[in-house]
Amino acid sequence: MALIVQKFGGTSVGTIERIRNVAWRVAKWHAAGHRLVVVPSAMSGETNRLLSLAAGVQEHPDPRELDVIASTGEQVTVGLLAMALLALGVKARSYAGWQVKVLTDSAHTRARIVKIDEVRLRQDLENGCVAVVAGFQGVDQAGDITTLGRGGSDTSAVALAAALGADECQIYTDVDGVYTTDPRIVPEARRLHTVTFEEMIEMASAGSKVLQIRSVEFAGKYKVPTRVLSSLTDPKLPVAEEARSGTLITFEEDPHMAMEKAVVSGVAAQRDEAKITVHAVPDKPGIAYAILGPIADAGINVDVIVQNVSHDGMTDLSFTLSRGDMPKAIRMLNEQVKPHIKCREVTGDDRMAKVSIVGLGMRSHAGIAAKMFRTLAEEGINIQMISTSEIKISVVIDEKYAELAVRVLHKAFELDQE
Residues at the interface with a second copy (CB under 8 A): 16, 19-20, 50, 53-54, 56-59, 61-62, 64-66, 68-69, 71-72, 75-76, 78-80, 82-84, 86-87, 93-94, 96, 98-99, 143-145
CB of 149 to a second copy, least distance (A): 17
Cα separations in angstroms, 229 against 33, 39, 232, 337: 20, 15, 9, 47
CB of 297 to a second copy, least distance (A): 23
The minimum distance between CB 26 and a second copy, in angstroms, equals 13
- The nearest distance, CB 87 to a second copy, in angstroms, is 4
Closest approach of a second copy to the CB of residue 350, in Å: 32
DSSP track, 86-115 = HHTT--EEEE-HHHHTEEE-S-TTS--EEE
What CA–CA distances, in Å, run from 45 to 11, 41, 74, 330? 9, 11, 12, 34
**Judged by CB, which is closer to a second copy: 74, or 199?**
74
When the beta carbons of 45 and 324 are compared against a second copy, the nearer one is 45
Of 59 and 390, nearer to a second copy (C-beta) is 59
Residue 49 or 365: the one with the smaller Cβ distance to a second copy is 49
Residue 94: CB minimum distance to a second copy, A: 5
Tell me whether residue 65 or residue 105 sits nearer to a second copy (CB atom): 65
Angle at 40 between CA 34 and CA 46, to 5 degrees: 165
94/315 with CB nearer a second copy: 94
What count of other Cβ atoms lies within 10 Å of the Cβ of residue 330?
Answer: 17
Residues 118 and 102: their CA atoms lie apart, in Å, by: 9
**Residue 25 · residue 170 · CB < 8 Å:** no
- Work out how close the CB of 144 gets to a second copy at its nearest, in angstroms, rounded to a whole number: 8
CA 237-241-244 angle, to 5 degrees, is 135
- In the bound state with a second copy, the residue whose beta carbon lies nearer, of 117 and 414, is 117
The residue (of 2 and 16) whose beta carbon lies closer to a second copy is 16
Give me the least distance between CB of 218 and a second copy, in Å please.
26
Taking the C-alpha atoms of residue 147 and residue 71, their distance in angstroms, rounded to an integer, is 7
- Gap between the Cα atoms of 337 and 350, Å rounded: 20
Nearer Cβ to a second copy, position 89 or 380? 89
- For a second copy, which is the closer residue by CB, 56 or 339? 56
Among 180, 220, 177, 218, residue whose Cα is nearest residue 197: 220
Nearest CA among 24, 126, 23, 17 for reference residue 81: 23
Q: To the nearest whole angstrom, how small is the minimum distance from the Cβ of residue 145 to a second copy?
A: 7
Sheet holding 383-389, edge to edge: 302-307, 314-322, 266-282, 345-358, 392-398, 383-389
- Closest contact distance (angstroms) between CB of 34 and a second copy is 22
Buried/exposed code over 115-137 (b: 16+ C-beta within 10 A; e: otherwise) = ebebeebeebbeeebbbbbbbbb
Does the CA dihedral 200-202-208-214 come out positive or negative?
positive
Taking the C-alpha atoms of residue 182 and residue 162, their distance in angstroms, rounded to an integer, is 29
How far is Cα 2 from Cα 328, in angstroms, rounded to an integer?
Answer: 50
Virtual torsion, Cα 154, 155, 160, 165, nearest 10 deg: 100
Closer residue to a second copy in complex, CB, 143/285? 143
- Provide, rounded to whole angstroms, the least separation between the CB of residue 78 and a second copy: 7
